[in-house]
Each structure stands twice: as C-alpha cells, then as structure tokens.
C-alpha cells in the first residue's frame, strides 16, 4: 500500500501546479484517488462501482467524499495513519433501513453542496471524468488530468514498492505455471489454478488480468483464457499482469504443453530472447522510446520475422502507461520510470512466443524488477 509520506509529497507537488486563480482541485478518477489520497476500495467487493472525490483546496484541507459503504471497505479507509486526507464526508447510499438512493448521485450532490458553501468558483478537475452534478455550482473548470498523467510517469519510492508487490504476485503465477500445465486442460481451468496459487502470495484480494492463450490463439498474439483445450506441443503464452492494491506487475513467458519443444520452437524462442537482450541493453536515461522497437525489428528482420506490436510500455496505476515504446514516439526515457519490454513473434502452426520483464530506470541504467524463469520447458 502507498504511504502517507508519499501521498503528501504528491499532494504538495500537485498543489504547486495549480494556477494562481485556481481555488481548488476536485479529483474523481479512481487511480488518482489512490495516487493522491491513498484511497483504494477492494476490487472484488460490492464497492467496486462506488464513487469518491478528493477536494484539494489550494490553501485549505484535503477532503475525501464517498458513501457510507465505500469508506468502510477501502484497503486503508481514511483517516487511517496511511492517509493524507484531513477530513472525510460521507453520503448515505444505503443504511439497510431505508431504500437505497442513487449511489453516485448522493456523493455528487454532497460534493456540489460543499463547493457551493465554500464559494469555490474556479476549479481544476479531470474534465473527461467529472460528472456535471458534482460541480454544477462552479463557474469554470480547468482540466488537470494532463498534469496528473505527467506526474505519474516518474514513480515515487512507495509506488515502486507497490509495483514490486504486483511483480512478486505475477512471479508466483509463473513459478507454478510449469507444474500446473498439462495437455488436455482447458485454458480457463489452468487460469483458475494459477489464480489460486497466486492469491496466497498477494495476501489480499486482487484481479489477475492476463493473456493466457494456446495453439492457434497464441498464434494470434494472445487473449483472455477461454474454453480451448490445450494440446500436446502447443505454445502457451502466459502474459500475467495482476492488479494488486491498485498497481500492476506485467511479466510474460511462453511454455510448450508437455515440455518437449521442437527445434523450430526452440529456435523461435532463442530469437525472441535475443531481441529482448538487445533491447534491454538500451535501458538508461536519455534513450529515445523508439529505439527499443528499432532494436527488436533489426533482430527480427535478420531472421525473416516482424514485430507486430509495441516493444513495451510503462506500468504503474495503468496498463499501458506512457511512455509507450513505439516507433512513432518522440519521448525520451527518464530515471524513475518503470518499463516493460515484451518482444513477440506469432503466426506459427503451434502458436506464438512472447517474453517480458519489468525494469526500473535508474540514474546509472536500470534495475530488473522481475526474476521469473524464461524458458519453454
């Protein structure tokens, strides 16, 4: 979980970005409630569809608005020691006595009433996410989402620790993947076994998003696990990106069902692994984002293969996050970014192969955050 100190640092930095005539910022995007307010409802609870707002006054308190159920079910419900929030205002959605009212509407109305009482006329907000009802009384709204997205690119220490937890959870999936993979097993049943194994590592409810695809589905590049039965000799792509307490890990390996790769599969694996190694050598501040795709394309082209997607991307609260490692990017890699590299080759009779690691960019180069074993068997 993020720390109070980290959230306060981010709040302070964000306040500094507000223009002189902006009286407050109203934050409602769930990722940013966590980023600035350390507020994270459990994703597999009744409160998944609840709403919250963070009112950050330029020279006043930081107030969290939510409903009576959502506040109680958050991982660290403010005002706990880990929260930078000064005040919590809760709207009654459902009290088990009276019929439930509009959940989002109740909270939005409370926010608007508060803005009106405080006579806030100029507001910064994520305009593409802000419901009109929540700020109906405000004279003008300035979009602050680009500022927040830019801030998110370079990670704070508590964010890096949160990503490490996501990576460890994904590594637990990969450590069990060889043992649990059997020809004749459906993809969805394989997925269920992997989730069960990883939950004990996460020690919290989480959402295991992934590409888990075999055979012809892997040949197409991947996809969510389905009802397809995994056959002997199939290539099985395991791109695991769990969502643990709001942050992601994102790591990939490819296995051969039955554990006996053909020479063609082994050669293809070696090609993808070589391209990953060459791209990894470029990981340092100052490298153009496009250079990673260029390095992988050069390696693939020499073998008559092509790169059909990005070379990688940043991770954190989102997936993917900027900067994306694509040919048409004009971005430059900076210290503090957390990136993935994930070259892949597809369209083969037995499937496709993708490999992926996660990296923290440091002043000196990089630290590889993931240590799962790459190999077909």
Domain residue spans of the chain: 4-151, 157-368
pLDDT value, residue 1: 78
pLDDT value, residue 126: 96
Peptide bond preceding 62 in cis form (omega within 30 of 0) = no
- How far is residue 62 CA from its own chain's centroid? 25
Pick the CATH number of 4-151 from 2.60.40.10, 3.40.350.10, 3.30.460.10, 3.90.226.10: 3.40.350.10
Residue 236 has pLDDT above 90, yes or no: yes
Residue 78 has pLDDT above 60, yes or no: no
The three-class DSSP label of residue 254 is: strand
Q: What is the mean pLDDT of residues 314-322?
A: 95
Fold identical between 4-151 and 157-368?
Answer: no
Residue 75 has pLDDT above 70, yes or no: no
Q: What is the mean pLDDT of residues 173-188?
A: 96
Q: For residue 328, what are the CA distances in angstroms to 83, 153, 291? A: 40, 19, 10
The three-class DSSP label of residue 364 is: coil
Who's near 18: CB < 8 A, 6+ residues apart? 25, 58, 124, 144
d(CA 239, CA 214): 12
CATH class, range 157-368? alpha beta
Name 348's bridge partners: 351
pLDDT-derived band at 256 (thresholds 50, 70, 90) equals: very high
């Amino acid at each position: 979980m993020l720390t109070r100190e980290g959230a306060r640092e981010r709040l302070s930095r964000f306040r500094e970005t507000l223009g002189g005539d902006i009286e407050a910022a109203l934050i409602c995007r769930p990722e940013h409630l966590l980023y600035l307010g350390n507020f994270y409802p459990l994703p597999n609870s009744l409160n998944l569809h609840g709403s919250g707002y963070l009112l950050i006054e330029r020279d006043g308190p930081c107030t969290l608005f939510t409903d009576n159920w959502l506040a109680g079910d958050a991982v660290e419900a403010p005002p706990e020691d880990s929260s930078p929030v000064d005040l919590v205002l809760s709207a009654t959605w459902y009290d088990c006595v009276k019929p439930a009212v509009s959940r989002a509407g109740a909270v939005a109305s409370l926010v608007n009433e508060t803005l009106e009482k405080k006579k806030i006329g100029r507001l910064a907000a994520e305009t593409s996410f802000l419901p009109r009802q929540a700020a109906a009384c405000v004279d003008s709204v300035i979009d602050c989402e680009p500022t927040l997205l830019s801030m998110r690119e370079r990670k704070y220490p508590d964010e890096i620790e949160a990503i490490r937890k996501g990576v460890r959870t994904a590594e637990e999936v990969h450590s069990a993947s060889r043992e649990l993979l059997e020809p004749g097993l459906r993809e969805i049943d394989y997925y269920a076994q992997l989730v069960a194994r990883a939950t004990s590592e996460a020690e919290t409810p989480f959402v295991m998003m992934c590409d888990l695809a075999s055979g012809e589905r892997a040949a197409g590049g991947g996809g969510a696990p389905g009802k397809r039965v995994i056959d002997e000799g199939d290539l099985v792509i395991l791109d695991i990106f769990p969502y643990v307490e709001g942050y992601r890990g994102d790591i990939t390996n490819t296995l051969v069902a039955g554990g006996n790769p053909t020479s063609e599969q082994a050669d293809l694996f070696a090609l993808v692994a070589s391209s990953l190694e060459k791209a990894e050598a470029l990981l340092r501040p100052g490298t153009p984002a496009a250079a990673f795709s260029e390095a992988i394309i050069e390696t693939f082209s020499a073998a008559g293969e092509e790169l059909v997607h990005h070379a990688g991307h940043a991770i954190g609260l989102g997936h993917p996050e900027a900067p994306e490692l694509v040919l048409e990017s004009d971005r430059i890699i900076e210290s503090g970014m957390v990136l993935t590299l994930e070259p892949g080759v597809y369209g083969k009779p037995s499937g496709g192969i993708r490999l992926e690691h996660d990296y923290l960019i440091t002043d000196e180069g990089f630290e590889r955050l993931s240590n799962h074993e790459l190999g077909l068997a």
